Structure 1
Amino acid sequence: MGFGRYLARKVVVYGITFVFAVTLNWLLPRLMPGNPIEAMMSKSGGTANTALIKFYEELYGLNLPLWKQFINFWTSLFHGNLGYSMLYNTPVSGIIRHALPYDVAILLPAILLSWLVGNWLGAIAGKNKKYDRYTMPVFYFLASMPYFWFAMILVYVIGVKLGWLPYSGAYAPDLVPSFSWEFISSFLEHWILPFLSLFIVMIGSWAIGMRNMIIYELEADYVRYLEALGGSEKLMTKHAYRNAILPQVTGLALQLGMVVAGAIATEIVFNYPGIGVLIMNAALNQDYFLLQGAFLVVVVSVLAANFAIDLIYAFIDPRVRASYTEG
């Protein structure tokens, strides 16, 4: 019963947050200076005469009062319509559907594998002082390294100088996405460098966080109590690790929430066709509909990840489960 009430409260809180965030994402592009129709016409080389501007404003509904545009936005959203992109001249939902798999293909493996490897290395560093002395400078160096800077190093060294791997796009420009071996092999070759630029940098942050938490937990009173009772080192380490991993799980959820548009700079360096590049292009060209559609995907992914982690905590932390049963 306690868990049911907790779940209902969480649903209400996340629902309110969703409405507020999406409303803000809808409003902010419209507060930007400039006229999106004029920007669209200047990009296409057309003449921005008054009659043509009025026609396009009526076509996209931008001539309506803001309150009516807001109502139309939510009505369309509930019908699964994200609008029509002024930049790409195609439905926003189709653009996002095309770009989303590329974000997931890069960021999801990078986040999960770096989390596993980083926590493993950090746990070893927290227990072994000799190992800690030599590895921590490396971890700090990796954690302080910007993604785009390391990405440019990979492009220059591996892509340009050595010529081992391609460094632009998601696949060869003469190919069409399909399940053929030719396309898959080309996709994997283009995938390696963006993946490495994220995976290697992320390892440092995860390792530092786990190392610090392990050191803290091994000095906690419950570990000292276990030691006084004659508990084995394996048992003490097991309990310390279970408590140390909790903040890392929270960090993992936040990172997974940013699996969409979580590496805009990296995508720009590699010219990778993900949501991050769409957001940049939409902002530069004042494409309201594409910008609010891309931000909607980001908001949903972040909220879904945080909601999931609230539920996961109930299974990995006995203290949280106890609070549910106690109401």
Structure 2
Amino acid sequence: MGTDNQTQVREFILLGLSSDQDIQVTLFVLFLVMYLVTVLGNFLIVLLIRLDSRLHTPMYFFLTNLSLVDVSYATSIVPQMLVHFLAKQKVIPLLSCAAQLFFSLALGGIEFVLLAVMAYDRYVAVCDPLRYSAIMSGGLCTRLAITSWVSGSINSLMQTGITFQLPMCSNKIIDHISCELLAVVRLACVDTSSNEVAIMVSSIVLLMTPFCLVLLSYIRIISTILKIQSTEGRKKAFHTCASHLTVVALCYGMAIFIYIQPRSSPSVLQEKMISLFYAILTPMLNPMIYSLRNKEVKGAWQKLLGKFSGLTFKLAA
């Protein structure tokens, strides 16, 4: 019976945020602008790092990876959501839903591991600056980046495969903004306790383990900063970590609130808003955080704009 019903589900209906047409048009414009800012901001960060040789360091190599992950994550969710704001039938095919779940889950996992890698980079820079270049070699940076991408992808592949093997019966309404893992699991017409345990275990491995590594890194970093005698030295050391620490607080805070929690909370509306924040606002804010709080990036912007202004002046003359 369950298998027969499962074969009937070829598509899902995403309820989204609102059924009011006027509100949906307003949300379409708002999120379209935010998405374009996200793509442009992250693209400019990658371009800036590429063009300025002073930014060819491990920290900015990892930041390039983070920007690519952010753009890809937003792209896995936002375009489909924008289409649904204007569509009467908010339908997503089964295969598209599975693909969306895989990519969003994979990219989220990659970002968590990548932030832990970036914390290790900051730890070496502050706690062992004389050996920084020797430790953070090009080979090690490449291996750490590959590890981030592979670990997130493998976890997502397993979770997506397990989830879409569940019998969905005739239930095809997903009360969420996208094909999010917990929202899809809730559609199953069988006991999903084992799936929830698997989600919890993978969350601990791929979310809490990197988070603990970030905490350990910053405990050592703060301890080292406090031992610095000069106020100027402490400020300089802190500023090398401020941008990364801000991004860590945003990304890990939202994800932990969603996945590491009692089963009864938060509400579906809270889940939607948190997922929206994580899918759109965080990727949009990350390049701004690194641009506004980082002296090297601001200096590179000024240099690039100076060159552009000079070129424009010559062309005009």
Determine if the TM-score, normalized by the shorter chain, exceeds 0.5: no
Q: TM-score, normalised by structure 1?
A: 0.31
For the pair shown, which has the larger CA radius of gyration, 1 or 2? 1
Q: TM-score, normalised by structure 2?
A: 0.32
